[in-house]
Amino acid sequence: MLLILLGLLLWSGVHFWKRIAPDHRARFGNKGKAIVAIGSVVAIVLMTIGYRAAEGTFFWGRSPMLTGINNLLMLFAFYHFAASGAKTRITKWVRNPQLTAVKIWALSHLLVNGDTPSFLLFGGLFAWALAEVIVLNRVAPPAPYHAVPVKKEITALIATVVVFSITAAIHIWLGYNPFG
């Protein structure tokens, strides 16, 4: 579980860097984006390897009901993520749709993974997203909402279904059937 923790710390560090030390981050210019990207990839690798190798106490597992709720929440998570890029209508009410997507993703995975490695990984990413929202709300004023064409809404919905399908296929390929 140490690798999960190290991955979470690295993930949080590179993502908070711009908010906590904006002048330091700005000095790096475009190289700072590369540092964040590389740090994010290394963090994901650490969390993935750590999660796959971790052992811990098991409290609950998947059930058909929790699996269905998880899949429905994942559709909402993917939609929020797509909505942030397309600036769809939901961004009028949800200020940080990408971070909201991470929180929904984390909670949905906790529903079907009731073991201590999952508590650390998904709970840790939920805590990071929540802290990021708090920091963003303190340092950046909300951007004004601008109405978007219906085409963007449709594009976000299509992207949601496509990404959900690809993600489900990858889970099945890895041996984790998200539908059963």
Q: Specify the pTM.
A: 0.91
Band of residue 145 on the pLDDT scale cut at 50, 70, 90: confident
CB atoms within 10 A of CB 97: 24
Q: What percent of the chain has pLDDT over 90?
A: 75
Q: For residue range 14-41, what is the model confidence (pLDDT) as tens digits?
A: 999 988 888 898 899 889 999 999 999 9
Q: CB within 8 A of 16, min separation 6: which ones?
A: 131, 132, 135
And the tokens for 65? 């009901």
Q: What percent of the chain has pLDDT over 70?
A: 100
- Return the residue matching tokens 């219906």: 150
Q: What is the pLDDT of residue 129?
A: 97
pLDDT at 146 over 90: no
